[in-house]
Amino acid sequence: MNPTAQLLLPEVEDLIAHGRYAELREALHGVDPADVADTLAELSVKDVALAFRVLPRDDAAAAFAYLDPARQEKLLAALGDRQAADVLEAMSPDDRAHLLDELPEVVVRHVVSVLSPETRRVTQAILGYPAGTVGRLMTPGYVTVKPGWTVAEAMDHIRRHGKDAETINVVYVVDEEGKLVDDLRLRALLLADPVERIENLMNRSYVKLRATEDESEAVRLMTRYDRAVLPVVDSRGVLIGIVTSDDVADVAQRQATEEIHRLGGVEALDAPYMKTPLTSLVIKRGKWLAALFLGEMLTASAMTHYNSELEHAVVLGLFLPLIISSGGNSGGQATTLIIRALALQEVEIRDWTRVFWRELAGGLALGLFLALIGLVRILAWRWIGWGEAYGEHYVLVGLTVALALVGVVLWGSLMGSMLPFALRALKLDPAAISAPLVATLVDVTGLVIYFSVASIVLRGTLL
């Protein structure tokens, strides 16, 4: 709970307990809806329903949009149809669509039925676009003007129709068929001569989104063009909504969270960690853990194959975790860097050869660096007397470890960087690769590299 909500809570509890609703209304007036929601989140559903009945309709709707979906559902039931409809009608269309996305199907059908015909039409239009598209993010709260109007006519129109708009910082110029032809900043209108025609202010240069595009396109365009609002058109170019920066910021944050979860080897959680039920948390982690476990089982098979080497040279086992984890770590690094660069479009699929050469040079340098540390460690331990277990052929063992490290780190860097490109080339989502998956793949091949190097270097001595 944030400080404002903490200050408000005792007062609000007291006013509800004593039925002093007029004062409650007064106490919550002018408080930011996010803070009102935070305060109400601490109360029982019954008390929140009481508070919602006394709040002005717009304040109630604004606070409602900030509550979490489970609470929204309970509250709708507690409010009853008429008051629930009031709150829903006053919500912005995108917030309402977002709420309906979260509710069970049967509740949605009921909720939509209590809306006014106009609100129902707008809500269903937005719900008609698949989840994850720009259509779901958009809101119809924009103002349009016509090219033939004067600035004074446009300003008069904005004054009359701007009340329900999410923004009037930008107004949109549409032709007779409703097709978008330009965007104009309100500032340009304010500063223009009132008798000037709109068409003389136009430069016909604008950035737009299509309703069927993926919501990540909204994030990309808004970041690229530094806009706070973007217009949305249908397939014919007709303006049907706008997308605002607050909704896009939420999408960007959610995408970063998904990317982080998947890179960490967890199926992305749909809700905050603490609100994800334990069973769903275990399932989302268990799937990946089991997949990685099955992959890692190949190491046991590979090890079985090298069983006789291991029996002859138990010393090789000592450095096994060290070597395979180094390959996994370098592979994880490369995957992390490339997947993030692909997500930010800093790297495109056609860059794969340049990445390959970079990782070849970089992986070689990193491998040589670790090999040097490993070699010095083995020789030093032996010389100060801690490395008896390394046996009489400790120099050859050190050489085996060093050469294997160069191979494993180089191989890890190449696998980790090339796998995301391979998935992208196969039209699959590169983010489906996680760092632990690369580590697992590199573990198996790392084993093979290690024992192959050993069988060459140690032939005639230990093996």
332 in contact with a copy of itself (CB under 8 A): yes
Looking at 228, 349, 380, 432, which residue binds a copy of itself (CB under 8 A)? 228
Residue 197 DSSP SS3 = strand
CA angle 371-376-379, nearest 5°?
125
252 in contact with a copy of itself (CB under 8 A): yes
- Three-state SS for 9-41 is HHHHHHHHHCCCHHHHHHHHCCCCHHHHHHHHC
Between 113 and 257, CB nearer to a copy of itself = 257
Whether residue 113 contacts residue 121, with contact meaning beta carbons closer than 8 Å, is answered with no
Query: Which residues from 260-289 bind a copy of itself, rule CB under 8 A?
Result: 260-261, 263-266, 269, 272-275, 278, 281-282, 285-286, 288-289
Q: Name residue 351's amino acid.
A: D
Between 178 and 264, CB nearer to a copy of itself = 264
Residue 5's nearest CA partner among 63, 58, 92, 62 is 63
- For residue 114, the minimal CB distance to a copy of itself (Å) is 26
Between CA 161 and CA 155 the distance in angstroms is 10
Phi, psi of 115 (to 5 degrees): -75, 160
Q: First vs last Cα of the chain: how many Å apart?
A: 65
Between CA 325 and CA 178 the distance in angstroms is 60
361 in contact with a copy of itself (CB under 8 A): yes
Looking at 55, 85, 111, 409, which residue binds a copy of itself (CB under 8 A)? 409
Query: Which residues from 76-115 bind a copy of itself, rule CB under 8 A?
Result: none
Between CA 255 and CA 268 the distance in angstroms is 10
380 in contact with a copy of itself (CB under 8 A): no
200 in contact with a copy of itself (CB under 8 A): no
Looking at 77, 294, 425, 456, which residue binds a copy of itself (CB under 8 A)? 294
Between 29 and 121, CB nearer to a copy of itself = 29
224 in contact with a copy of itself (CB under 8 A): yes
Binding mask 31-70 for a copy of itself (x = CB under 8 A): xx-x------------------------------------
Count of residues interacting with a copy of itself (CB under 8 A): 116
Between CA 243 and CA 245 the distance in angstroms is 7
223 in contact with a copy of itself (CB under 8 A): yes
Q: Within 10 A of 46 (CB to CB), how many other CB atoms are there?
A: 12
Residue 168 DSSP SS3 = coil
Looking at 46, 116, 293, 380, which residue binds a copy of itself (CB under 8 A)? 293
443 in contact with a copy of itself (CB under 8 A): yes
DSSP 362-381: HHHHHHHHHHHHHHHHHHHH
Between 178 and 286, CB nearer to a copy of itself = 286
Looking at 72, 133, 139, 299, which residue binds a copy of itself (CB under 8 A)? 299
